[in-house]
Amino acid sequence: MNKTALLFAGQGAQVVGMGRDMAEASSSARQWFEQADQALGCDLSRICFQGPEADLTRTEYAQPGIYLVGWVAFQLLKERLPGLDFHATAGLSLGEFTALAAAGVFSFEDGIRVVRQRGRFMQEACEAQSGGMAAIIGLDEESTRAVCELTGATLANLNCPGQIVISGPASVMEKACEAARSAGAKKAMPLKVAGAYHSPLMAPAQPSLKAALARVSFSAPIVPTLSNVTAMPHDPTQVSSRLVEQVTAPVRWEACMRWMLQNGYTRFIELGPGKALSGFMKRIDDKVQMLNVSDMASLETTVQALSASPNP
């Protein structure tokens, strides 16, 4: 059987104006944005729609903002296609929270609250110790791992063939980029991020996140939801532990997608701002059907494609 998976964007996908046309065009979308503002006690909608960019890029706003826009895209797609059938979910880093909410593991409100707290805890960890990240283009995992061992950096995101992100203390990142170039990387580019995500430098965020998750009510997922840590479907009894572990563990995105490909998933729908996950999939397997919903225009295109071909 051919199967459909929903994919949810991660941090870095945020852009000022995200979600605005959905809220303008749909009363139900507006209600979700209002619900988010009420749940958080802040005007997250305004920051998503109008910025300023400096606020939207702050981790405590970027993370719930991306969660919110991904969730609204999911809800609008279901509204347009009431019979939408999906068989698994996955999300990149913070997108894993949206994927879990879509699979019924916790409520929208619990998810957005804990995601904002996660963003705050990670921001505090960033401010406690200076760190950075860099994209390494053109090296395989083994060679990049060797660069990390040589320089004291850490594998952070294993996105797709030829694209790996490393993380570490600010003092080692320039040396790591130089070592990557020496090892044959086509590019080794520092990223504009607040700190060393998915590295041991994020460990100070873990106890607070564990406490926040302890206040969330969890249910078993209605479909398999992939863990960034294990690249396997979540064990329903271990979801909270894996989400805490994920803060310092590498995101095994390519391995997650390969698990899906090996298990019969042939259609992937990216939900939320940007199309980064679609780009990764092109490098993992360009033969699958890849759709996305980031605004009203892409929603219409995806609805038309799904209506024309209910089963991939």
Mark whether 57 and 143 lie in a shared domain: no
Say if residue 177 is in the same domain as residue 243: no
User: What is the CB neighbour count within 10 angstroms for residue 94?
Assistant: 27
Q: Is residue 240 part of a domain?
A: yes
Whether residues 260 and 168 share a domain: the answer is no
- The amino acid occupying position 301 is T
CB atoms within 10 A of CB 261: 17
Q: In what order do the strands lie in the sheet with 163-169?
A: 154-160, 163-169, 131-137, 187-190
Residue 167's CATH number: 3.30.70.250
- What does the pLDDT read at residue 312? 58
| Confidence category of residue 2, pLDDT binned at 50, 70, 90 | confident
pLDDT of 247 reads 97
Specify whether 214 is located in the same domain as 298. yes
Of 11-15, 26-30, 216-220, which range is least confident? 11-15
Shared domain check, 67 and 23: yes
pLDDT category of residue 309 using cuts at 50, 70 and 90:
confident
Residue 195 maps to a domain: no
Identify whether 234 is part of a domain: yes
Q: What is the pLDDT of residue 42?
A: 94
Is 279 in the same domain as 174?
no
Does a structural domain hold residue 256? yes
The domain spanning residue 80 has which CATH number?
Answer: 3.40.366.10
113 and 12 co-located in one domain = yes
Q: Write out pLDDT tens, residues 173-213.
A: 999 999 999 999 999 999 888 889 999 999 999 999 999 99
Give 57's pLDDT tier (boundaries 50, 70, 90).
Answer: confident
- For residue 202, how many C-alpha atoms fall within 13 Å in the half-sphere facing its CB? 29
On whether both 101 and 31 belong to a single domain, the answer is: yes
The domain total for the chain is 2
* 181 and 212 in a common domain: no
**pLDDT tens digits, 119-170:** 999 999 999 989 999 999 999 999 999 999 999 999 999 999 999 999 999 9
CA 296 – CA 63 distance, rounded (Å): 21
The angle subtended at Cα 302 by Cα 293 and Cα 231, nearest 5°, is 60
Q: What percent of the chain has pLDDT over 70?
A: 99
At which of 169, 190, 211 does a domain end?
190
Residue 308 has pLDDT above 90, yes or no: no
228 and 109 within one domain: yes
Question: Is residue 67 a part of any domain in this protein?
Answer: yes
Residue 167 lies in a domain: yes
- What is the extent of the structural domain holding 164? 130-190
Does residue 10 share a domain with residue 101? Answer: yes
User: Does a structural domain hold residue 156?
Assistant: yes
Query: Residue 310: pLDDT above 80?
Result: no
Active site (catalytic) residues = 93, 198
The residues, any chain, with a CB within 8 Å of residue 79's CB and separated by 6 or more, are 26, 28
What would the pLDDT profile of 72-126 be if each residue is shown by its tens digit?
999 999 999 998 999 999 999 999 999 999 999 999 999 999 999 999 999 999 9
pLDDT digits (tens, 9 = 90+) for 229-270: 999 999 999 999 999 999 999 999 999 999 999 999 999 999
* Mean pLDDT over each residue of the chain, to the nearest integer: 95
Evaluate whether residue 245 is within a structural domain. yes
Residue 278 has pLDDT above 90, yes or no: yes
Cα(160)–Cα(135) distance, rounded to whole angstroms?
12
Shared domain for 293 and 168, answered yes or no, is no
Q: Which residues of 139-177 are buried (b: 16+ CB within 10 A; e: fewer)?
A: beeebbbebbeebebbbbbbbbeebbbbbbbeebbeebb
